[in-house]
Amino acid sequence: MKNKIKMEEITIKQSDLESNTISFITADETEPIIKLCQNGDIFVKGKLVENDLEVVEGMREFLKKSNGGDQ
């Protein structure tokens, strides 16, 4: 049995090259759902979050989308 490699086209954006940043992006999104920055800032859908509930809702959305849809 031969090994197969699936090749997909990828696009690298400037935000992908940010050092000391962790981004949570699903396959069908172009921008991160959640972005954690070195300085402690947390962004959900590009907006700086002000409370924990926004982070929890962003993580729930990321997990649902990464599992293939709403559950």
Per-residue pLDDT of 8-48, as tens digits, reads 555 556 656 667 888 888 877 778 888 999 899 999 989 99
Q: How many domains does the chain contain in total? A: 1
DSSP 9-70: -----GGGG-TTEEEE--TT-SS-SEEEETTS-EEETTEE--SHHHHHHHHHHHHHHHTTS-
- What order do you get walking across the sheet with 42-44 strand by strand? 21-24, 34-37, 42-44, 47-48
Residue 61, domain extent: 20-66
Q: Is residue 7 part of a domain?
A: no
Q: Is residue 13 part of a domain?
A: no
pLDDT of 47 = 92
The answer to whether residue 1 scores a pLDDT higher than 70 is no
What's the pTM? 0.63
pLDDT band at 69 (very low <50, low <70, confident <90, very high): low
Length of the chain: 71
pLDDT of 57 = 92
Q: Is residue 8 part of a domain?
A: no
pLDDT of 14 = 61
